[in-house]
């Protein structure tokens, strides 16, 4: 198995890992109940999505 001849510097390791960070989910506010929900998802409180109700309060599809 190949083994590196020299240790990678902290700078080089940091440059490689600079794109590994996790960003927070983008939130939008529901126009019906004003609760914060992730974008492109049905509101878990009122079931509202894209201008219409797609789920009832229990989570079942209507």
Task: Give pTM, 2 decimals.
Answer: 0.54
Q: How confident is the model at residue 5 (pLDDT cuts 50, 70, 90)?
A: very high
Q: How distant is the alpha carbon of residue 59 from its chain centre?
A: 21
Q: What pLDDT does 18 receive?
A: 95
CA atoms of 50 and 20, how far apart (whole Å): 32
Give the pLDDT confidence of 44-62 residue by residue, as tens digits: 888 888 888 888 766 666 6
Domain boundaries, the chain: 25-62
CA atoms of 27 and 19, how far apart (whole Å): 22
Alpha helices in the chain (DSSP H): 10-17
Q: Among residues 42, 43, 44, 38, which one has the least CA distance to residue 23? A: 38
Point out which residues pair with 61 in neighbouring strands. Answer: 55
Give the pLDDT confidence of 10-56 residue by residue, as tens digits: 999 999 999 999 999 999 999 888 899 999 999 888 888 888 888 87
Q: What pLDDT does 11 receive?
A: 97
CA atoms of 1 and 36, how far apart (whole Å): 51
């Amino acid at each position: 198995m190949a083994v590196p001849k020299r240790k990678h510097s902290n700078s080089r390791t940091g440059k490689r890992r600079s794109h590994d960070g996790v960003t927070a989910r983008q939130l939008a506010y529901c126009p019906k109940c004003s609760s914060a929900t992730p974008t492109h998802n049905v509101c878990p409180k009122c079931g509202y999505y894209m201008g219409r109700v797609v789920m009832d309060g229990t989570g079942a599809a209507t």
